[in-house]
Amino acid sequence: MTSWRASVRASVGTFLLDAAIEGSRQAVALIGPNGSGKTTFLRFLVGAVHPEEGEFILGNKSLVDTQKDVNVPTEQRRVGYVPQGYGLFSHLNVLDNVGYGLVGGPNRLDLSQRHLKARQILENLGCASLAGRRVAGLSGGEQQWIALARALVIEPELLLLDEPLSALDASKRRKTRKLLSQRLQLFGRPSILTTHDVRDVAVLGAHIYVLEKGRIIQSGTLDHLIRKPASDFVAEFVGPATLEDYT
């Protein structure tokens, strides 16, 4: 089981992101108001942001260390990424999207094996029927599973999900939340997700980091946050969780 830790100090637009988080087996949730730097943090982990200072250790590998001038290129980090909007490749069908990471590099497989593995993972996620479809016709929920399948197929060491459920309508969210939680448990590797919704955190049983204006203002379990919210935002965030029927 891989453990990881990351800290970053970077100027983004009008504010400074200065945060450190870590995790291992348990899913980690990064919450915060819009513009607090959640997506930027994920983009740092992925390698899209160049920080003034930063460190990112995944397992026993140092992926980023500004002091030692270490900056492993994105394609070698083994970090899976499902961005907001899912980022599916519109020019490829579902099967080719999922199999993308298996075409070159260390995970390379030939055509038939690639398709086999892609189909396998689609089945695991319950989307086998979508294999030949074009991206354009997929619903938000379907896109989310495809994006997840695509990220999982390369067996990443760490999985990043940016607002994975926000594009879904309320009715879908409940069901998908449970499924996602199960899949992540099955996946068995560390994951970080950002979310607006406390119910996502509750179902996932994640450890929470609260990011406000680029700084971590609280870290802990959901119970901890409910009992001692560190800010108005946190209090508002946990609000729905104090109601009985949130699952």
Partner 1 sequence: MNRNGFFSSLGSLLGIVLVSLLLVPLLAMLVSTSHQDIVAGIAHPMFLPALFLSLKTTSISLALTCLLGTPLAWWLASSRSKSTKIIELVVALPIVIPPAVLGVGLLQTFGREGLLGSLLQNLGLSIPFTASAVIIAQIVVSSPFFIQAATSSFRKVEPDILMVARTLGSSAVSAFFRVALPISLPGIVAGASLAWARSLGEFGATLLFAGNMKDETQTMPLAIFSAMESDLQLAIVFSLVLVGGGGILLAALRCLPLTVALTKRRPR
Site residues (vs partner 1, CB under 8 A): 43, 46-48, 73-75, 77, 79-85, 87, 89-91, 100-101, 103-107, 111, 115, 147, 150-151, 154, 156
Q: Which one, 84 or 231, has the nearer CB to partner 1?
A: 84
Q: How far is the CB of 89 from partner 1 (least distance, A)?
A: 6
Q: Which one, 3 or 74, has the nearer CB to partner 1?
A: 74
Q: Which one, 109 or 230, has the nearer CB to partner 1?
A: 109
Short-list 196, 136, 188, 187, CA closest to 165:
196
Kindly report the backbone phi and psi dihedral angles of residue 214, in degrees, each rounded to the nearest multiple of 5, phi listed first.
Answer: 85, 0
- Total residues belonging to the chain: 247
Q: How far is the CB of 14 from partner 1 (least distance, A)?
A: 16
Q: How far is the CB of 151 from partner 1 (least distance, A)?
A: 7
Q: How far is the CB of 99 from partner 1 (least distance, A)?
A: 10
**Bridge partners, residue 219, by sequence:** 209
Strands 191-195 and 28-31: parallel
Residues 6+ apart with CB under 8 A from 116: none
Q: DSSP H helical segments within the chain, as ranges?
A: 38-46, 94-98, 111-124, 140-152, 170-187, 198-204, 222-227, 232-238
Q: Which one, 147 or 201, has the nearer CB to partner 1?
A: 147
Q: Which one, 76 or 242, has the nearer CB to partner 1?
A: 76
Q: How far is the CB of 25 from partner 1 (least distance, A)?
A: 21
What is each CA distance from 129 to 49, 78, 94, 99, 146, in whole angstroms?
37, 28, 10, 15, 11
